A and B are shown apart, each in its own frame.
Chain A
Amino acid sequence: MPLNFEELAQASGEWLKGSGPESDIVISSRIRLARNLAEFPFIARATPADRIEIEKILHARIAASNDSKKFPGELLYVDVSELPEVDRAFLVERQLISRELSESDGARAVAIDKREQYSVMINEEDHLRIQVMHSGLDLETAWAQIDMLDDLIEEQVTYAYNEKLGYLTACPTNVGTGIRVSVMLHLPALVITRQIDKVFRSLQKINLAVRGLYGEGSQAMGDFYQISNQVTLGLSEQELVKKVSDVVPVLIDYERQAREFLVRESQETLHDRVSRAYGILRNAQTISSEETLHLLSSVRMGVNLGLIGDVAIPTVNKLFVHTQPAHLQKLAGMELDSSDRNIERASYLRRHLGGDGANTTHN
């Protein structure tokens, strides 16, 4: 069944629900497994014909387990190589495919379930990248699900594996378990109180990696940070899940303390910051994607601290993603250049935050 982008654009994926444990600070929990078919070269040495064959084999196998109802949820199968650029960018913004899959060449695809909890990428850096994503802090469930999914696919193919090194991957950084366990955290108060660098340094000491919202660079967008395991060899999947799980409550605690400190020591400044952010988002006539992320971050914290009462967290979560360039264009149903997007973004924000330019001082 082809993916209906218009339907998907209107919907809100699993990780935007804003539910699940600790979801005021933990946006989402995600686990990814890297797998390769034993009888093909890795992607770097695969010929275009190899890639086509790999895609065909994996597509057929995934479709078969989906048809046999073994696969949880109904899958949408998308041929990424045939998608226009804006649709590929849309899937990246939605975190359903990686930038690498979007931007590479040759046969490649993704299978997505309708709730946007599972995604299986074919011919990314590895032949298979299986991903499970949950709202809030819920790594144990995510692991149980991805483990089962991995078994289901493995029933029908032979993975590249050896006894000593485990699952063999294109990059030695993933070899062994091939697992990447990550949580996305919203840490605005640690950024405002300038404690975030200290937190990063301590995470790096225990071999955890930290990245910004959409991956590249160290500068996080909108105070969102993704924490993940760096090591994949020598520890079991459960141990790695635990390693990431164990550090999250500590970070949540730091962030809560920083928020309490701000409320206690500079209530007016904080309230002013949040209200100004809200005011701009409800009234701007043109606004960039960077400024939007930055302001939405303050609003999100304001809602969680009870400083703003008339917006719900799922709405704010949704706005983070729906104001990204590709989403805006899908929602508007047309291509927009950068300055038109800024106008459309401002109008979208006004519509969804109940601001019209008129009732701005109204709480």
Chain B
Amino acid sequence: MKCQKCDKKATFHITDLVDGEPSEVHLCEDCAQAFLAPPADDDASDVMPAMAGLLAQQLAVGETAEELARLDKQACPVCGITFREFRKQGRLGCPHDYVCFADELEPLLLNIHDEIHHVGKVPKGYGANAEQQTQLIRLRREMKEAVAREDYEEASKLRDEIRAIEATRDAPDPSGENA
């Protein structure tokens, strides 16, 4: 099969979603690289502009168009980013994404780093409740939404919850226990 953009042999068969509709694209290696590269404006300082490309490649191989469409609709409950948005921008929305998109990220991380386990530095204060941190992101978002719809009763309830968490967090935890 010939590449859709030039006359070379097509070696990449990519499933792309255009406005939610899956479509097949057949490209040679050079054209595939250009196609998969993230938009020019965000690769200026990126050591690996091929990141979004790697991800697209891995998904194109592993998933059918339907599976990909389903995957794309998945959203992080904390920051609200969809998998499609991440796939397009190559940037995650919040720390929790590493948990909620773990199944998709793991092969990507292996592809990039050849490893999925951190062996380096550990923050000295680590042990402060990590669960609470993601909870804080969600509560802040809900509070903003409550304020936006002028539900001040709900907003002040949420503010109290945030303060309660912040109070426990600020007290140093001598046991250093993890969540």
A residues with a Cβ closer than 8 A to B are 36, 38-45, 47, 49, 98-100, 103, 125, 147, 150-151, 154-155, 158-168, 170-173, 175-177, 179-180, 207, 209, 211, 215-216, 228, 230-237
Contacts and interface: CB of A to CB of B under 8 A. Distances in A.
Contacts of A172: 51, 92, 105, 108-109, 112
Contacts of A167: 118, 121, 123
A155 B123 CA distance: 9
> Which secondary structure dominates chain B's binding surface?
loop
Contacts of A45: 79-81, 93-94
B119 A158 contact: no
Given A147-B121, A176-B120, A235-B115, 15 more contacts: A40-B94, A41-B93, A42-B79, A45-B81, A159-B123, A164-B117, A167-B121, A171-B91, A172-B51, A173-B46, A173-B51, A175-B98, A175-B118, A215-B45, A234-B118
B81 A165 contact: no
Contacts of A100: 42, 44-45
Contacts, number: 158
B98 A162 contact: yes
Contacts of B108: 172
Contacts of A171: 46, 51, 90-92
Nearest to B85: A44
B95 interface: yes
A44 to B, nearest CB: 4
A160 B137 CA distance: 12
A168 B130 CA distance: 12
Contacts of A173: 46-48, 51, 112
Contacts of B137: 39-41
A209 B123 contact: no
Contact of B118 (A43, A103, A159, A164): A164
Nearest to A101: B45
Interface in B124-139: 124-126, 128, 130, 133-134, 136-137
Contacts of A38: 95, 130, 133-134, 136
Residue from A150, A161, A179 having most chain B Cβ neighbours under 10 A: A161
A171 B87 CA distance: 11
Nearest to A171: B91
B45 A165 contact: no
A232 B123 contact: no
B91 A42 contact: yes
B78 to A, nearest CB: 8
Chain A to chain B: the 5 pairs with minimum beta-carbon distance, closest first: A234-B115, A166-B118, A45-B93, A38-B133, A233-B113
User: Which residue of A49, A162, A177, A211 has the most chain B CB atoms within 10 A of its CB atom?
Assistant: A162
B156 interface: no
A49 to B, nearest CB: 8
Contacts of A99: 44-45
Contact of A232 (B81, B93, B113, B178): B113
B89 interface: yes
Nearest to B111: A172
Nearest to A238: B120
Contacts of B78: 41
Given A44-B89, A45-B80, A216-B44, A231 B95 contact: no
Contact of A44 (B93, B105, B134): B93
A328 to B, nearest CB: 22
A192 B2 CA distance: 38
A158 to B, nearest CB: 5
Given A40-B137, A151-B124, A177 B118 contact: yes
Contacts of A180: 47
Contact of A158 (B42, B112, B169): B169
A160 B43 CA distance: 24
